[in-house]
Structure 1
Amino acid sequence: MKNGKPSAYLSFTLHAHLPYVLHHGTWPHGLEWLHEAAAETYLPLLGVLRRLERDGLALKANLSLSPVLMEQLRHPTFKEEFPKYIERKMISAREDENYFRQNGEFDFAETAVFWESFFERTLKDFYDLDRDIVSGLRYFNDTGSIEILACAATHGYLPLLGTDESVVAQIRAGVAAHERHLGKKPHGFWVPECGYRPAGLWQTPIVASGEEGPRSPFRRIGVEEALAEAGIEYFFVDTHLVEESILFTPYKMMSGDLGLRLHNLPAHELKRKGDLKSIYRPYLVEGPLAHAHPVTIFPRDPQTGLQVWSGDTGYPADGNYLDFHKKRWPGGHQYWRVTEAQSDMALKAPYFPQEALARTHVHAEHFTRLVQSALEDGYSQERPPILSSLFDAELFGHWWFEGPVWLEQVVRIFAQDDVGIELTTGSQYLSQFAPEVFLDLGEGSWGKNGNNEVWLNDQTSWTWSDIYRAEEVMREIATQGRWRDDGWGLRIAKQMARELLLLESSDWQFLITTAAARDYAEKRFRGHLEQFIELEMLWAEFVSNGGLSPSAEQWLAELEERDCLFAEIDPGLWARR
């Protein structure tokens, strides 16, 4: 501390997102993804926030809630189906307990009791929230315990979208949904996949469907310009966009790409090349609107990211923690610990919750020392440095079951130890220390190799060909203005906007590239594309006849019920700029 003020700041940012899965399958791909995330991540994080508040503490973290996630969490279908899912988990835990006791496997039986208790508490928490997880998080946003960030409507990968109008629509629709669900304007924004593209000449990397050759290069606005127009003050970028670094991207950490070589890296190679202080401060983004409407960036810290993300060498690799992959069916409960990160599934040892819990405190203490070490070179600065530690929210609880408790332990240790580091949100830091230095940023992401290749490659290029055509169609219809009739034209145009947004979800390319759920992703993409084309035909019928046939009316009504997100979507967002 200097004169009673913090010498440095730590800012966690958790990004919560799932693609639109309501009415599009249940298991193994579909609604159960949402159930798992709610039970294992969102409700446990709310539990952390409540316990900290009870003790006069606050997480002081940024939490990004993607609009498509909020739409699903507040939908009646989720509110009705989630308790049924929890009850199934409780029943299967009881059945597992009986089986284990009959077979003399008492360690496993005790873990089954643990799971029944966990899901019983989860169900109670859900009903205590009146089945509204978003409202529960909104409360902590209103109190300042967390700052909820806006996000692109359906998590479209902004650098590759083919028109400025599509980028603007993803952002504006996302901000509108944020304001509707949370009751206030956002200050910060989570750019999907930390994907950034500056202003300048650009050409579609793939020929649009139905076109004979590539389009001529044309001038694009930068991502920060679209954010500035929407009133956004700051967003986040990956380390290498600020300065060259060793690319310990989250993609590599989760996929195991880093390998065992990390064990042998000297300490200085785990730090960035050049001036360490450069990533521990915010910057203003240089661009056409920079000085009239400046937007701030916070760079991602790679050191803390490596320690928390990596399933090979980070905290989640500890042998005492719950193993994510090995499950007992049909209930799907996990009874084994990591044991060793690379060990065969058959060699996994039994999981003991209390032993795992004890490790969270050890790792929380290690993390606080790691943060101190990373920031110590900046203590002498006139402006206190800030370390931005960015993660997918689902890492905490779903992928790393003990993660929420670890996060709570970190907050408590920083509150108890007078180390001169204070937790803060993006807006809270900027309200005290406005940036002054402008940076020209290149294009990039936090994906593999820091570029676009996770979303654009030989396996996914066909999706962009169809997206680019659909974007042009949507822009022309929005520009014509025939949809402003408050009748069939408006309904068709709004549903076309929804299907285009769903088509643009970055999740489909990610799931194809990683092969995590390739068949499901391809099916979903083709389904939304077919529906968009069918709506295009309905639009032509409406323009010609001023109405629709009874069968077309029924089909549209069924589609509106199935893909019912963003009820107030404005087709005018896609009108030519």
Structure 2
Amino acid sequence: MNGRYPPKNVLGQLAIVLHAHLPYVRKNEINSLEEDWLFQAILECYIPLLQSIESSKKENPENTKLTISLSPTLLSLLNNIQIQETFPSWIKTRNDFLNELPLKEKNASAFLIKNLNDKYLYWENCSGNLIEKFKVLNNSGNLDILTCAATHGYLPILRENPETIKGQINTAIRSHENIFETKPLGIWLPECAYYEGLDEILFNSGIRYTILDGHGILNSTPRPRYGVYAPICSKKGVAFFGRDSESTLPVWSAKEGFPGDKVYREFHKDLGWELPLSKLQKKGISTKRPLGLKFHKITDENISLGEKEFYLENEAKNKAAEHADAYLLARSKQLEKLTLSSSFKPLLVAPFDAELFGHWWYEGPFFIENILKNSNKYSIKLTNLKEFLIQKPNLQICDPSPSSWGQGGYHNYWINDANAWIVPEITKAGSTFVDLCLENFNNDLSLRLFNQAARELLLSESSDWSFILRAGTTTELAKERIERHLFRFWKLVEMIKNHSNINFKFLEDIEEEDNVFPNINIDDWRK
């Protein structure tokens, strides 16, 4: 490991990595559950994180460093004009609900009304173009923005047809380059899932680094000299960073970590569950569901939701600042123990789902802001993965181990009794499409059919639906999504094989509805 970087007075480095992803929301899906997922993430996570990073950059520009992956489907949504035009009315609906509350509840939710308006003002000031905000921070080096697989496909279950994996990765790279005007060097593997040989596909696509769960590094061959505290490099030339569980547990765990503190906002008590259905329906919301309107605190995890006390924002912010200091102090002590010699400066890699910060843990962005602003006090150099590799450290050559960061550490969460039926369905579709792509396209209509079939195949491969089926939440929605995209895929395949029977109305409708990846290239699926 190169001893010139970071400076000698620094104990080591900390790389916080955030993974931001949401599944594709089809056109005209207004007032849907999927639209709520997106808008709540924009309001509670993406805007607050941008504000925190920008605020820290003003005070501590050299140590304001984060890595963030923005999945291609999420970028397509943030770049969608219809969504940008719909967000204001979504905000107004929630403001209306809060302003119509009885006086006691309205006073308790005053902080929420203020925050709604504050985040909407930020949105208005950038004309809804959050991507440009991320781009500025990427260009300044404060952010290292990674790509992800195109539709967050779980790559190990696609390995029977390597071309389908190439389709996922190369579509993502092309989408990222189209938006950010630069090719990504790093990728977030969906669910940090890795299998032997994937590094060769990554390298050939131009990817040079990614992140695995800790055991993906620790079980490498040979066993890494520095464990997860330094990246390794595969024989194919891809660097792998390993998750440090000690750096993530205090944030991941609601029971053992910070997010479960009694002064923080209670996630499960939402006004959407408490308002009469008739009132929701007047605003175009057809079913009871969370609205993102929460103004009670955890209070005590053992009491019922009905007994939760009102949330006090200043109390929670003070606690988040305390927790940020406690986190930095613990990392400082950890780095001090790990510093084996003056020539070794350990690196702690702490990856999280971005939506944890703000959506699941409402105070999360404020916690991040305090980490960014105060890390210097604890002799910790914040870095991002690209910046670390630019220093040209000497990396040990190892073959990483198959792994994931899902429950059980491997692939069983995506191959089990609840969702294993998906695997043969998408495998068959992938094989058929790869074989079809061997043909030459003889006209623009053929290419149009192939392009849309590729989109439907990618959308059917999304790991979100497998995850939902295993978790047992909105399972009907997940099943419907998979079956819809596969039905459309096979209908398009039928048209490709039988040019005399083209249903142009069907083609036009799904082109409009599943309008994603405009620069899709069928060559990505060719052997």
The alignment's TM-score, normalised by the length of structure 2, stands at: 0.91
**What letter matches 1:313 in structure 2?**
E
Distance of 2:454 and 2:51 partners within structure 1: 37
Q: 1:354 to 1:447 in 2, by over 3 A?
A: same
Q: 1:56 to 1:437 in 2, by over 3 A?
A: closer
Deviation string 1:502-558 (CA, Å, 9 cap, x unpaired) is 01101010010001221110110111011111111111222xx3xx54xx1121011
Alignment of 1:182-197 (within 5 A): 182-197=180-195
1:139 corresponds in structure 2 to 136
Alignment of 1:491-510 (within 5 A): 491-510=448-467
Flag as ranges the 4+ runs of structure 1 deviating above 4 A.
1-5, 24-28, 274-277
Q: Work out whether residues 500 and 528 of structure 1, in 8 Å CA contact, stay in contact via their aligned partners in 2.
A: yes
2:107 corresponds in structure 1 to 110
Matched, 1:38 2:36: no
Q: Tell me, what secondary structure is at the counterpart of 1:9?
A: strand
Alignment of 1:302-321 (within 5 A): 302-321=245-264
1:265 corresponds in structure 2 to none
**What letter matches 1:476 in structure 2?**
D
Matched, 1:76 2:51: no
Matched, 1:66 2:15: no
Q: Work out whether residues 161 and 430 of structure 2, in 8 Å CA contact, stay in contact via their aligned partners in 1.
A: yes
Which sits farther off after the overlay, 26-35 or 461-470? 26-35
**What letter matches 2:524 in structure 1?**
L
Equivalent residue for 1:391, pick from 319, 333, 352: 352
5+ residue gaps, structure 2 = 276-290
2:286 corresponds in structure 1 to none
Deviation string 1:1-40 (CA, Å, 9 cap, x unpaired) is 9865533100000000001123374556211111111111
Distance of 2:226 and 2:337 partners within structure 1: 7
Equivalent residue for 2:514, pick from 539, 544, 563: 563
1:94 corresponds in structure 2 to 99
Distance of 1:398 and 1:169 partners within structure 2: 31
Deviation string 1:44-65 (CA, Å, 9 cap, x unpaired) is 1111122122324353010100
| C-alpha displacement of 1:127 | 1.3
Equivalent residue for 1:158, pick from 138, 155, 174: 155
Q: 1:28 to 1:561 in 2, by over 3 A?
A: closer
Distance of 2:292 and 2:59 partners within structure 1: 35
Q: Work out whether residues 479 and 572 of structure 1, in 8 Å CA contact, stay in contact via their aligned partners in 2.
A: no
**What letter matches 1:13 in structure 2?**
V
Equivalent residue for 1:50, pick from 54, 65, 69: 54
Q: 1:439 to 1:506 in 2, by over 3 A?
A: same
Q: Work out whether residues 7 and 384 of structure 1, in 8 Å CA contact, stay in contact via their aligned partners in 2.
A: yes
1:324 corresponds in structure 2 to 267
Q: Work out whether residues 407 and 413 of structure 2, in 8 Å CA contact, stay in contact via their aligned partners in 1.
A: yes
2:298 corresponds in structure 1 to 338
Distance of 1:558 and 1:167 partners within structure 2: 27
Matched, 1:228 2:185: no
Deviation string 1:425-467 (CA, Å, 9 cap, x unpaired) is 1111112242431222221100001011111111111111110
1:297 corresponds in structure 2 to 240
Distance of 2:224 and 2:386 partners within structure 1: 25
**How many percent identity over aligned positions?**
31
1:260 corresponds in structure 2 to none
Matched, 1:356 2:316: yes
Q: Tell me, what secondary structure is at the counterpart of 2:271?
A: coil
Q: Work out whether residues 108 and 295 of structure 2, in 8 Å CA contact, stay in contact via their aligned partners in 1.
A: yes
| C-alpha displacement of 1:340 | 2.4
Distance of 2:371 and 2:469 partners within structure 1: 36
Distance of 2:519 and 2:93 partners within structure 1: 35
Matched, 1:6 2:10: yes
Superposed CA RMSD in Å reads: 1.9
1:439 corresponds in structure 2 to 398
Distance of 2:52 and 2:267 partners within structure 1: 21
Q: Tell me, what secondary structure is at the counterpart of 1:311?
A: coil
Matched, 1:18 2:22: yes
5+ residue gaps, structure 1 = 199-221, 246-273
- The higher relative CO (CA closer than 8 Å, separation ≥ 6) is in 2
Distance of 1:26 and 1:317 partners within structure 2: 33
Alignment of 1:114-133 (within 5 A): 114-133=111-130
Q: 1:74 to 1:568 in 2, by over 3 A?
A: same
